[in-house]
Amino acid sequence: MYWFSPINNIVDITNFVLHETGQPLHAFDADEVSGKKVIVKTLPAGTKFKTLDGKERTLAAHDLMICSAEEPMCIAGVFGGIKSGIIPKTKNIFLESACFSADYIRKTGMHHQLKTDASFRFERGTDPNLTVYALKRAALLIKEIAGGSISSEVVDVYPVKVENRLIDVKDKNINRLIGKTIPRQEVFSILEGLEIAVVSKNESEFTVSVPPYRVDVSQEADVVEEILRIYGFNNIELTEIAGTDYLAEFPEKDINKFKRTLGAQLVDNGFYEILTNSLTNSAYQQKHNLTLNGSAVEILNKLSEEQGILRQTMLFTGLEVCGYNINRKQKDLKLYEFGKIYWKDETDQENKKVYKEEERLALYITGNFETENWQGKSRPVTYFDLAQQVVQVLEKSSISNLKQETLNDPLFDYGMQLMKGTKEIGKLGKVKTALTKDFGIKQEVFYADLSTALLFKSANPKFVVQEVPRFPEVRRDLSLVLISR
């Protein structure tokens, strides 16, 4: 749900009918409709229009508008105007229920970066035969709940009725696409349950009538998909014959298998895998004036400032997880995550920013090295505990001859940078205390950030073998007498 806030009982009723039937509605203050006329049209490009959220928007030539005799009132199917809403002094209401072109609404929503409950439905297609029912439903609810009285008949402008779609379906195509012969009577029963009527049939094919509200069923393959969806994918048996031609195309190295191998090793060493959101809060780096690689990718239609940009580092979302667990008495943490970071870098030939992304492996340890037990005291984790885990990951990835440099990074109090030639494999160290305090963490956190792509590139799935010895092992016991002179 992109836009929903309780304003008054009239608006609540239109929202309720929207969620009940899937048909968007809009309630106008009838006394504010100048000329007592409602006209649907487009306006010249560049026309200024203020929406319900108080923002002034510049209209495009393709924006469909609901207008009175003198001025625009709504961006059709997307958002109401500042003067179109119901206010406390409203006495007379005009209810509007329409079916708009999905293409028009999608273009308008993209142009204005607006996603509302109404546009969400219209972009995917609504039922043109449902508009009058939804209108009457809302009117009766207003009469029952808000004490209104219905003062006019419904005006239904429906010049060309949208008829059911007729689609021919061949039996052989059902069997070919599904991979199994399904009894005809069962096929008809499935379609009948989906309100898709079989209007004619012969020995090899049949014709179905699809109601307009099923906008996703427009061709024969869609009908077959509906049959399979209800019949059940798990009811289709797998073939027992596997051709070697397909096996020959498998890649020698699989990054997903590689990540599972590293993950299993970390789990064996007491780590838990986490999965965090790629969206993060820009305030984390702004507060400390941090400069990260490139510039941040900002979300245009952000849901909140807390999720306003794509992350440029894995650290902040990981610290959120650490802080959440520590505040709930889970202070001894070993966590790892495979995820992506994003940024905007140098410009291209058209002077546009180049968007980039990179997959990273992040390790976090904090608290005690092991849980408390009766056999002895547990010690706090140290930088060297993290370094040991990083070494094991590097060994698993067949990386050797690394160059180690002192880390100079605003995210760390101290640490080490790992280089392979001129490329940075990763970095590890103790997270700055000022950063951890922002997440309510009062204990040391050690963090490693490694390049998944470089680890995978170096990984060698081959193994070394040697010939079995031809002769059995011989053991000799030698005794030596040493004389000192």
Strand partners, 423: 420
Query: Are 298 and 418 contacting, i.e. CB atoms less than 8 angstroms apart?
Result: no
CA distance 231 to 139: 40
Angle at 179 between CA 177 and CA 181, to 5 degrees: 105
Chain-centre distance of CA 154, in angstroms?
Answer: 41
Tokens, residue 2? 């992109």
**DSSP percent split of the chain into helix, strand, coil, nearest 5:** 30, 25, 45
What pLDDT, in 10s, does the model give residues 59-107?
A: 999 999 999 988 999 999 999 888 888 888 889 999 999 999 888 899 9
Instruction: Give the burial class of 122: count Cβ atoms within 10 A of its Cβ; 0-12 exposed, 13-18 middle, 19 or more buried.
Output: buried
Nearest to 397 by CA among 276, 291, 263, 278: 263
Is the CB of residue 27 less than 8 Å from the CB of residue 38?
Answer: no
| Contact residues for 266 (Cβ-Cβ < 8 A; gap 6+) | 273, 336, 363, 389, 393
Are 93 and 86 within 8 A, CB to CB?
yes
Q: Could you tell me where in the chain the CATH 3.30.930.10 domains are found?
A: 255-458
Query: Which amino acid, residue 378?
Result: S
- DSSP readout, 310-365? E-S-SHHHHHHHHHHHHTTT---EEEEEEEEEEEEEEE-TTS-EEEEEEEEEEEEE
Instruction: Kindly give, in sequence order, each residue whose CB lies less than 8 Å from that of residue 155, ignoring residues fewer than 6 positions away.
Output: none
Contact 431, 445 (CB under 8 A): yes
CA pair distance 170, 34, nearest whole angstrom: 56
Q: Which pair of structure tokens corresponds to residue 75?
A: 């961006």
Distances (CA, A) of 459 to 71, 386, 449, 454: 66, 21, 18, 9
Q: Rounded to 5 degrees, what angle do the CA atoms 436, 382, 447 make?
A: 45
DSSP code of 66? E
DSSP-derived letter for residue 116 is -
Residues 6+ apart with CB under 8 A from 473: none
Neighbours of 162 (CB within 10 A): 13
Q: With contact defined as beta carbons under 8 Å apart, do 39 and 102 qualify?
A: no
Top-tier CATH class for 165-235: alpha beta
Q: Are 425 and 404 in contact (CB under 8 A)?
A: no
- CATH entry, 255-458, from 3.30.930.10, 1.10.238.10, 3.40.50.300, 3.40.50.150: 3.30.930.10
Question: Residue 176 and residue 227: Cα distance in Å, rounded?
Answer: 13
Distance of CA 148 to the CA centre of its chain: 43
- The pLDDT tens digits of the residues spanning 425-439 come to 999 999 999 999 999
Q: Are 169 and 224 in contact (CB under 8 A)?
A: yes
Nearest-angstrom CA–CA distance, 37 and 39: 6
User: Coil, strand, or helix at residue 55?
Assistant: coil
First to last CA, the chain: 96
- Give the pLDDT confidence of 298-321 residue by residue, as tens digits: 888 888 888 889 999 999 999 999
Please count the other Cβ atoms lying within 10 Å of the Cβ belonging to residue 270. 14
Task: For the chain, give the mean pLDDT.
Answer: 88
- Measured CA distances, 148 to 43, 91, 152, 352, 477 (Å): 34, 9, 12, 56, 108
Tokens representing residue 451 in the block: 């390049």
Q: How is residue 238 written in tokens?
A: 């797998």
The boundaries of every CATH 3.50.40.10 domain in the chain are 9-145
Kindly state the DSSP code that residue 34 receives in the 8-state scheme: G
Q: pLDDT tens string for the chain (485 positions)? A: 344 566 788 999 999 999 999 999 999 989 888 888 899 999 999 999 998 888 899 999 999 999 998 899 999 999 988 888 888 888 999 999 999 988 889 999 999 988 888 999 999 889 899 999 999 999 999 999 988 889 889 989 988 888 999 999 999 999 999 988 999 999 999 999 999 999 999 999 999 999 998 888 999 999 999 999 999 988 988 776 655 554 555 556 788 999 999 999 999 999 999 999 999 998 888 888 887 878 888 888 888 888 889 999 999 999 999 999 999 999 999 999 999 999 988 766 666 778 889 999 999 999 998 877 777 788 899 999 999 999 999 998 888 888 999 988 889 999 999 998 888 999 999 999 999 999 999 999 999 999 999 999 887 766 667 888 888 888 888 888 888 87
Find residue 364's DSSP bridge partners: 335, 447
SS3 247: helix
- The matching CATH number, chosen from 3.40.50.720, 3.90.800.10, 3.30.43.10, 3.50.40.10, for 9-145 is 3.50.40.10
Residue pair 297/310 in contact by the 8 Å Cβ criterion: yes
Instruction: Name the token pair of 41.
Output: 């049209």
Residues forming beta bridges with residue 309, ordered by sequence position: 280, 298
